[in-house]
Chain A
Amino acid sequence: MSVVFQKTRGLTDVPTHYCPGCTHGIVHRLVGEVLEELGVLDNAIGVAPVGCSVLAYKYFNCDMHEAAHGRAPAVATGIKRVHPDNFVFTYQGDGDLASIGTAEIVHAALRGEKISTIFINNAIYGMTGGQMAPTTLVGQKATTAPYGRDPNHAGKPIRMSEMLSTIDGAKFVERVTVTTPAHVRKAKKAIKECFQVQLDGKGFGIVEVLSTCPTNWGYTPEEALRWLEENMIPYYPLGNFKRPEEVE
C-alpha cells in the first residue's frame, strides 16, 4: 500500500477561487511540485501580479509579492538583486505579460535576469470578465471583441515565446499545455528544466502554458480542452524554442 499521488507541500491549504475546470489549478500544482522536488520551496519568493492568478500569493506555500498589473518581472528583478541566492519566480497571465507588461518581460529577458516566469496563455482577460487579450485568436469572440477579433482592427495575436526566444538573455523558452495527462507530464518537465536554468545561474527562463478559460470561452471544462487543442495549438505551436547550449 503506497501513495503514488498526493498534494504537494508547495501549495497551501487555501482552496482556490478558480472557476471549475480552469487549468490554472493544474499549473499551480505543477509549480508547487517542482519547487518541492527541486528543494527550493523554503527558499522561494514568488510574484503574483493582477489577473485571475493574483490570489496565487495565498496558494503558493512560500514568500510571495502581490504586484501591479504587468510589473511582476520588475518586482522580481528587485527581489533577485537583493536576494541572489533565493529562487525567484513570477506567475503571470497573458493580459499581464503580453499586454501592459510587455516592456517588463522583454527587459527582464534582455538583462538575463536570473528569474523564472510561468506565463499562462488562455487567450482572454479572465478576472475582469472575458475581454480580448493580445493573445485572443482571430475570430475568437470576447466581450470587447463581440463580433470576434478582427485583425484589421486589433491586429493578430502575439506569439510571446517565439519573440522572447530571440533575446540572448532568455536561456530557456518553451511552450506547453495541460489538456491531457501526457501534456501535463511534459509541462512539468519543462517547468523543472526552466527552474533549473535559474538555479544554474544561466539567465532568464520562461514556460508559456496554453491554458483554458471555460467560463469566459463559454464552454464546459472538457469542451474547453478540446477547443484549445483544435484552435490554440495550431496558432501557438508547442515545443522548446531555446535551452542553454550543452557545454561540451
Chain B
Amino acid sequence: MAKVLMKGNEAIGAAAIEAGCKYFFGYPITPQSELPEFMARELPKAGGVFLQAESEIAAINMVYGAAGSGARVMTSSSSPGISLKQEGISYIAGAELPCLIVNIMRGGPGLGSIQPSQTDYFQATRGGGNGDYRLVVLAPSNVQELVDLIIEGFDIADQYRNPVMILGDGMIGQMMEPVEFKKPKTRELPPKDWATNGTKGERKPNIINSLYLSPEELEAHNIRLQAKYQKIRENEVKVESYNIEDADVVIAAYGTTSRIAKTAIAQLEKEGYKVGLIRPISLWPYPYDEFNKISDKCKGILTVEMNSGQMVDDVKIAVNGRFPVYFHGRLGGMVPTPNEIIEKVKKIYGGEI
C-alpha cells in the first residue's frame, strides 16, 4: 500500500478507523485537537459516531458506556484532560472494558504549556486513578509506529478486556511523516458475550460494574485482575535495543526523545565511543529483563526524558544496582539537544560523574 504523508494526530484517527473503531468521544485541548476534528469529518463516513462531550469526564464515561455495550471505542486528550479522566479510567479498568485512550502529552503541572513533554509517565504507568489497576501503555517514537500501535492497541484491549493508553507528546502529534496502514498480527479475540445489548429474553442480564461491597468478592476480583496483568507482562512487552551487549554506556529513552538519543549515539560512534540504547515501547508492561542483556563492562546508564526524572525509577528497578544510573532531563516543554546528551555520555565515559 502506498505511504501517505500525515500529521500524527490525524494519523491516529485514520489508524483507529482502519482498526474498526466506530466511536470517538472527545473534547478540545491543544495539542491534540486535530484528532477530534479528523474524527468529526471521517468517522461518520465510516459508519461511526463522533461526539464532542461537555467535558473530558463526560467523554470517558461515554467511552465506558460504549465499551460496555461491546463497541470498539476511543477517546483522546492531553495531560490535564487525561487527569480529568482518571476516575473513569479506573472504573473502566475495574469493569474490565476494552478501549483506547490517547494522551498527547504537554508541559505541566497545572495548565503548563502546549509544548511536548513526557511528564505523565508516572500517571500512565503507576495509575492516575484509584485502585490496583494497570493500563497497557504504549509509547511510539514516530508516526508510523504511532499508527501501528493504535491498530494493535485495539486488539490488545479486546484480547485482555483492558484499557490501553497510547502515550504520545505534542511533537509526535503535530509532526507529519509518511505512513501506511498494515494489518496487525492475528490474535485470538474472545467474543464480547458480556456486553450489554439487551437480553432479548434469551440470557440473564449482563451487568457492567466495578462495585463489590463484599471484601471477599472484591479481593477475588482483584486477584483475577492481577493474574491478567501478569499474563500481559509475560506476553506484551515491546522494546527496541541497539548495541547493548557491547556498549560502554547505554542510553535509556522512549518516544520522540529516543530519536534525539539515536542522533547523539551516531555522532558518538563517529568519535569512537561504544554507546547502546534501550527504547521501551511498552511502558507498561515495562521491559525490565532487557536490561539484563547489558554487558558487565558497561560504565553506566543515562536515562533521558522530557521531565524531571520518572522512567529513571524503572531503569533503577531494572538494573537493580548492577550499574550506576544517570539522568538528563529538560522541563517545561523544552526538548533536549543531541549535544547535551553527547556531553553527559562523555562525562560518564570519563568517570567525571
A contacts B directly in the complex (CB < 8 Å)?
yes
Q: Are B208 and A66 in contact (CB under 8 A)?
A: yes
Q: Which residue of A lies closest to B94 (CB)?
A: A66
Q: Are B64 and A64 in contact (CB under 8 A)?
A: no
Tell me the A36-69 residues at the B interface (CB within 8 Å): 42-45, 47, 54, 57-58, 60-68
Q: Are A45 and B196 in contact (CB under 8 A)?
A: yes
Q: Which residue of A lies closest to B71 (CB)?
A: A82
Q: How many A-B residue pairs have CB under 8 A?
A: 130
Candidate in B61, B88, B206 with the most chain A CB atoms within 10 angstroms: B61
Tell me the B46-97 residues at the A interface (CB within 8 Å): 49, 51, 53-55, 57-59, 61-71, 73, 87-88, 91, 95
Expressed in whole angstroms, the Cα–Cα distance for A202 and B210 within the complex equals 33
Tell me the B240-293 residues at the A interface (CB within 8 Å): none
With a cutoff of 8 Å between Cβ atoms, the chain A residues found around residue B55 in the complex are 103
Contacting A63 at CB < 8 Å: which of B62, B64, B95, B198? B198
With a cutoff of 8 Å between Cβ atoms, the chain B residues found around residue A139 in the complex are none
Q: Are A65 and B196 in contact (CB under 8 A)?
A: yes
Q: Are A79 and B88 in contact (CB under 8 A)?
A: no
Contacting B65 at CB < 8 Å: which of A42, A43, A58, A78? A78
CB distance from B167 to the nearest CB of A (A): 23
Q: Are B23 and A82 in contact (CB under 8 A)?
A: yes
The reply on B201 being an interface residue by CB < 8 A is: yes
The reply on A150 being an interface residue by CB < 8 A is: no
Q: Are B58 and A82 in contact (CB under 8 A)?
A: no
With a cutoff of 8 Å between Cβ atoms, the chain B residues found around residue A68 in the complex are 61, 64, 87-88, 91
CB distance from A164 to the nearest CB of B (A): 15
With a cutoff of 8 Å between Cβ atoms, the chain B residues found around residue A79 in the complex are 65-66, 68-69, 196
Expressed in whole angstroms, the Cα–Cα distance for A66 and B58 within the complex equals 15
Expressed in whole angstroms, the Cα–Cα distance for A174 and B54 within the complex equals 25
Q: Are B54 and A78 in contact (CB under 8 A)?
A: no
With a cutoff of 8 Å between Cβ atoms, the chain B residues found around residue A71 in the complex are 57-58, 61, 64, 88
Contacting B62 at CB < 8 Å: which of A12, A43, A81, A106? A81
The reply on A162 being an interface residue by CB < 8 A is: no
Expressed in whole angstroms, the Cα–Cα distance for A87 and B25 within the complex equals 21
The reply on A76 being an interface residue by CB < 8 A is: yes
Known: A71-B61, A74-B58, A74-B61. Is A43-B200 also a contact (CB below 8 A)? yes
With a cutoff of 8 Å between Cβ atoms, the chain A residues found around residue B196 in the complex are 45, 63-65, 79, 83
Expressed in whole angstroms, the Cα–Cα distance for A60 and B209 within the complex equals 14
The reply on B214 being an interface residue by CB < 8 A is: no
Q: Are B54 and A42 in contact (CB under 8 A)?
A: no
Expressed in whole angstroms, the Cα–Cα distance for A86 and B197 within the complex equals 7
The reply on A193 being an interface residue by CB < 8 A is: no
Give the number of chain B interface residues (Cβ < 8 Å).
40
The reply on A228 being an interface residue by CB < 8 A is: no
Expressed in whole angstroms, the Cα–Cα distance for A26 and B23 within the complex equals 37
Task: State which size class the interface on A falls in.
Answer: 35 or more
Interface string of B196-233 (1 = CB under 8 A from A): 11111100011111110000000000000000000000
With a cutoff of 8 Å between Cβ atoms, the chain A residues found around residue B57 in the complex are 71, 74
CB distance from A174 to the nearest CB of B (A): 24
Q: Are A62 and B208 in contact (CB under 8 A)?
A: no
With a cutoff of 8 Å between Cβ atoms, the chain B residues found around residue A75 in the complex are 61-62, 64-65, 68
Candidate in B67, B198, B208 with the most chain A CB atoms within 10 angstroms: B198
Expressed in whole angstroms, the Cα–Cα distance for A110 and B71 within the complex equals 24
Q: Are B205 and A65 in contact (CB under 8 A)?
A: no
Q: Are B198 and A74 in contact (CB under 8 A)?
A: no
With a cutoff of 8 Å between Cβ atoms, the chain B residues found around residue A44 in the complex are 198
The reply on A243 being an interface residue by CB < 8 A is: no
Known: A42-B200, A81-B49, A107-B58. Is A66-B65 also a contact (CB below 8 A)? no
Q: Are B64 and A78 in contact (CB under 8 A)?
A: yes
CB distance from A113 to the nearest CB of B (A): 10
Interface string of B31-53 (1 = CB under 8 A from A): 00000000000000000010101
Q: Are B205 and A67 in contact (CB under 8 A)?
A: no
With a cutoff of 8 Å between Cβ atoms, the chain A residues found around residue B65 in the complex are 47, 65, 67, 74-80, 82
With a cutoff of 8 Å between Cβ atoms, the chain B residues found around residue A62 in the complex are 198-199, 205
Expressed in whole angstroms, the Cα–Cα distance for A54 and B207 within the complex equals 12
Contacting B197 at CB < 8 Å: which of A63, A64, A78, A103? A63
Interface residues of B (CB under 8 A from A): 22-23, 25, 49, 51, 53-55, 57-59, 61-71, 73, 87-88, 91, 95, 196-201, 205-211
Ordered by A's residue number, 16 sampled pairs between the chains whose C-beta atoms are within 8 Å are A43-B198, A60-B205, A61-B205, A62-B205, A64-B206, A64-B208, A66-B210, A66-B211, A71-B88, A75-B68, A79-B68, A81-B51, A81-B62, A81-B66, A82-B65, A82-B66
Known contacts A66-B210, A78-B73; 6 additional CB pairs below 8 A are A74-B64, A78-B67, A78-B68, A79-B65, A79-B66, A82-B65
- 4 closest A-B pairs (Cβ-Cβ)? A78-B65, A63-B196, A78-B62, A74-B61
Interface residues of A (CB under 8 A from B): 12, 42-45, 47, 54, 57-58, 60-68, 71, 74-83, 86-87, 103-104, 106-107
